[in-house]
Structure 1
Amino acid sequence: MQRTRRGLLLGAAAVATSAVAGCLGTSSTNSGSDDGDDTIQASFFVVSDFTSHVAAGRTVRNLVPFGQHGHGWEPGPDVQRDVLDADAFVYVGEGFQPWADKIVRNVRNDDADVRVIEAWEGIDLLGATEHDDGHDGHEEDHSDEGSHDGSENHEEGHDDGENHDGSANESHGDHDGHENSTAESHEGSQEESHDHGSKDPHFWLDPDRAKQSVDNIADGLAEMDPANESTYTENADGFKQRLTELDETYEERLSGRAKDTVLVAGHNSFRYLGERYDFHVEALTGLAPDAEPTPKDVRRAQSVIDEHDIEYILAPVFESDRAATQLVRETDATEALPLTPVPSLTEEWRAEGWGYVDVMENVNLPSLARALGAE
């Protein structure tokens, strides 16, 4: 039985996506102050990437520092100041990032001249599953457990997005962890209980829902800047065509699959992919990104591997690889493959200048095709 090495998890995924420059002269950056007047601030990597494709001639900044996901991350006072000085603030939606919700309330209470744009407005969000709800509550009682079911200590250098952005060589207080964050430091950074209520927030992994979000952003920018409405609409249409092509690529590549179930050795952030392309996702834990798997979770995963003859385990890039390593060692699974809800970028992805579409094509699709026997 082959044992997965950490390098395999990051190696295939380490062809990377960055805060990408948007089309038609837009730029997207992560952190740092911008003195320009035409600035749009964003609360999360994916929405900053979408916005950068829509907002021509404007600077788009992801407020969350590179290497953080922005879900458990807490901003300093300068972040609110940057938003109040901006023309627009794009965030995922109420309940996704508590700190962003506070900023939105402050903007509205101050009657600030900042256009607030909710990326998931009107989008049909999947409900949380029974396992998600039950596991989230169950985790609180086991948050102090050390090792789980004989699993190894978390190997240094691995980390995720659904808690939401990521970077190498930093400690990550994010929704889904990242490289060089130990299980202990990752868990410690998630002090808040990130409860999304009864909804699964990871809508952007469905290209069709992502297109609705792009429209929301374009509409919001047009309300902020009516003189350039046609430009925002044109840019949005161009990016939506790219998302349509992404969707068609997934449909074609996964249509000949031999399996219909995948196992994710992390939190349950990939259901939108499963729904869109008609396969079932089993996950080690629920929606909470900072969840630590219990021995019961590991035993359940072992049963899933046996029942569905799973050869490849999907390991979220920005989460601990400890459980994936254990499952490969202790079952008939032979390898762990990288998968990500695209909360942020690794150093390698950033160096390549990748965005959301690039990561979906070059990291997630190859791993899903292999795990589903669609190669």
Structure 2
Amino acid sequence: MDDMNQSWSQQRFSRRQAITAGTGAIVTGLAGCISSEAESNDDETVAVASFFSFYDFARNIVDGTPIRVENLVPTGLHGHGWEPNASVTKDIIEADAFVHVGTGFQPWADRAIQTLEDDNVDTQLINAREGVELVDLAATLDPEEEGVGEQQGKDPHFWLDPRRAKTSVDNITEGLVELAPDQESALRNNAETYKSETLEQIDQDYQAIFDAAERDVIQLAAHNAFQYIGVRYDATMHPLVTNLAASGDVKPSDITDAKEVIEENDINYIANGVFEARKPAKQLLAETQVEAYFPVTPYAGVREDWVENNWGYEEIAYNINMPTFEAVLGNKQPEEVGPDGWAEEWRNFE
């Protein structure tokens, strides 16, 4: 191999050359001479995503094109708190593009990006958060939380707002067009359709639910992830877990605050995170007037049955979040919302 004295850290490796270095080398830094014969002949274009919402946006954008999109977060896990093993970096290096949420939200993704940059691997980085206007962290946030990456003190959960989600669709589209310029027309058409039909309709339907409500307060037995819904539709979200991570602890003071909110606002139903603990919600059922809890999710993960039914952001909005918001706001009784059998399936779900 020519010029053995040349610094490998300054050379640019293709993804599939990098894979031949082995998982350990991928994580700690690429080293040694790598033969060009290791280059794969696989011409398939693959984009991997660090978070379910952006995976779903991307797969709608690439519909009908040769580009394949994969979700890196395993089924049944929450995309924020998940910490994968080293093999995920190999998956990213092997892909043509990596769709991520920006810095400071998923530490494992930040580390993977740093590895790509340090070793000059040519996996394209697509930041779904680029140019999105973030709001300040909720006043209820645990003071130990610092916010998102370079935008300290900001709430990262912007994709819950369908209008801000459109900016992510634009970001992902631009990245994919750069990756596959021969598919530009299809990618842009798909993106415009998804924004104008799907996200616009979700926005309108959310707005109708909150406009119809006499109450503007929602008690969440969930983590601090839903502020953007409140900001967009003029409602107050009271999370039980006051930090950004779904795995956060519930303190006695949190339960006390929730009891006061429930009593002051005459709340009969609360919302519980699908991928979060049930115990705090059950405590509120036992110690307050609350009759039941129903599901909400920040689109950060999927259950096995959702995957089997090919649910994405749209289906989760209509089958999980919207019915729950209607019920907890008091617009309708739980039996009157959602698809047939929804209330029976999701009332005090395990």
TM-score calculated relative to the size of structure 2: 0.77
* 177, 188, 195: which one aligns with 1:233: 188
Find the aligned partners of 1:197 and 1:322 in 2 and give their Cα distance: 31
Contact preservation (8 Å) 2:76, 2:303 = yes
Contact preservation (8 Å) 1:135, 1:285 = no
Find the aligned partners of 1:334 and 1:84 in 2 and give their Cα distance: 49
Find the aligned partners of 1:258 and 1:270 in 2 and give their Cα distance: 19
* 81, 91, 96: which one aligns with 1:82: 91
Find the aligned partners of 1:251 and 1:79 in 2 and give their Cα distance: 38
Deviation at 1:373, TM superposition (A): 2.0
| Aligned residue runs from structure 1 range 1-375, under 5 A | 37-55=44-62, 56-134=65-143, 136=145, 197-241=152-196, 242-286=198-242, 287-375=244-332
Find the aligned partners of 2:254 and 2:86 in 1 and give their Cα distance: 39
Amino acid at match of 1:129: A
Q: Which moved more, 1:66-75 or 1:342-351?
A: 66-75
The structure-2 alpha-carbon separation of the partners of 1:195 and 1:316, relative to structure 1 and needing over 3 Å to count, comes to: farther
SS at match of 1:247: helix
SS at match of 2:285: helix
SS at match of 1:104: helix
Question: What root-mean-square deviation, in Å, do the aligned CA atoms of Structure 1 and Structure 2 show?
Answer: 2.1
SS at match of 1:222: helix
Deviation at 1:61, TM superposition (A): 0.7
| Count of aligned pairs between the two proteins | 286
Deviation at 1:346, TM superposition (A): 1.4
Contact preservation (8 Å) 1:274, 1:281 = yes
Higher RCO structure, 1 or 2 (CA under 8 Å, sep 6+): 1
Contact preservation (8 Å) 1:45, 1:62 = yes
Find the aligned partners of 1:98 and 1:331 in 2 and give their Cα distance: 38
Deviation at 1:304, TM superposition (A): 0.7
Q: Deviations over 1:215-267 (max 9, x none)?
A: 00001111222222222111111111210011111122332112110100121
The structure-2 alpha-carbon separation of the partners of 1:332 and 1:269, relative to structure 1 and needing over 3 Å to count, comes to: same
**Residue of structure 2 equivalent to 1:32:** none
Find the aligned partners of 2:210 and 2:131 in 1 and give their Cα distance: 28
**Residue of structure 1 equivalent to 2:28:** none
Q: Deviations over 1:171-219 (max 9, x none)?
A: xxxxxxxxxxxxxxxxxxxxxxx99841211111100011110000001
Contact preservation (8 Å) 1:71, 1:98 = no
Q: Which moved more, 1:242-251 or 1:60-69?
A: 60-69
Find the aligned partners of 1:265 and 1:36 in 2 and give their Cα distance: 47
Find the aligned partners of 1:122 and 1:195 in 2 and give their Cα distance: 13
Amino acid at match of 2:46: T
**Residue of structure 2 equivalent to 1:17:** none
TM-score calculated relative to the size of structure 1: 0.72
Amino acid at match of 2:176: L
**Unaligned residue ranges in structure 1 (runs of 5+):** 1-34, 138-193
Find the aligned partners of 1:340 and 1:221 in 2 and give their Cα distance: 27
Percent of pairs with identical residues = 41
Q: Quick check: which has more Rg, 1 or 2? A: 2
